[in-house]
Amino acid sequence: MIVRRLKEILGTKREVKAPNGNWTSRRFLLKDDQVGFSLHDTLIHAGTETYIWYKYHLEAVYCVAGNGEIEDIETGEIHPISDGTLYFLNKHEKHYLRATETMRMICVFNPPLTGEEVHNKEGFYEINSEES
């Protein structure tokens, strides 16, 4: 059994901040934990807009606090997000994530992140295809 608490993650390598300051990701489970996915408690900071395209990952996101919206760039659809909203990027959708009020999101990635990934210029996390 693995038991971890947020206070044990804060200030360690498992707390990853976006270089542009838009989000802070507290990574509870990573590839090394060998559970087949990674699980993060992520804050999307108020007033930010982030372009994201998870080219290699599937991501499920469940909002437990705050509010904002996600825009599917291809369709132009905008979905409001608040406590109790789940979205799942099952088609690697390019999107904008906007936070009106800081959003706390529980994020699950498959394949799992390995550690300290941040978005590259194209908005995705690199992957080492030999590893996964």
- In DSSP terms, 42 is beta-bridged to 25, 105
Instruction: Identify which of residues 29 and 107 has a Cβ nearer to ligand 9YT in the complex.
Output: 107
Q: What are residue 106's phi and psi, to 5 degrees?
A: -95, 115
Cα 65 from Cα 26, distance rounded (Å): 15
- Site string (62-101) toward ligand 9YT, x via CB under 6 A: -----------------------------------x----
Instruction: Identify which of residues 1 and 89 has a Cβ nearer to ligand 9YT in the complex.
Output: 89
Instruction: Identify which of residues 7 and 16 has a Cβ nearer to ligand 9YT in the complex.
Output: 16
Q: For residue 106, which of 2, 25, 1 has the smallest C-alpha distance? A: 25
Q: Judged by CB under 6 A, how many residues of this single chain contact ligand 9YT?
A: 11
Spatial contact of 93 and 21, defined as CB atoms under 8 Å apart: no
Instruction: Identify which of residues 1 and 6 has a Cβ nearer to ligand 9YT in the complex.
Output: 6
Stretch of 6-14, 29-37, 40-48, 73-81 lying at the interface with ligand 9YT (CB under 6 A): 40-48
Q: What are residue 47's phi and psi, to 5 degrees?
A: 85, 5
Of the residues 42, 67, 82, 100, which one makes contact with ligand 9YT according to CB under 6 A? 42
Cα 100 from Cα 45, distance rounded (Å): 8
Of the residues 29, 43, 61, 99, which one makes contact with ligand 9YT according to CB under 6 A? 61
Q: Does 48 bind ligand 9YT (CB under 6 A)?
A: no
Q: How far is CA 127 from the centre of its chain?
A: 15
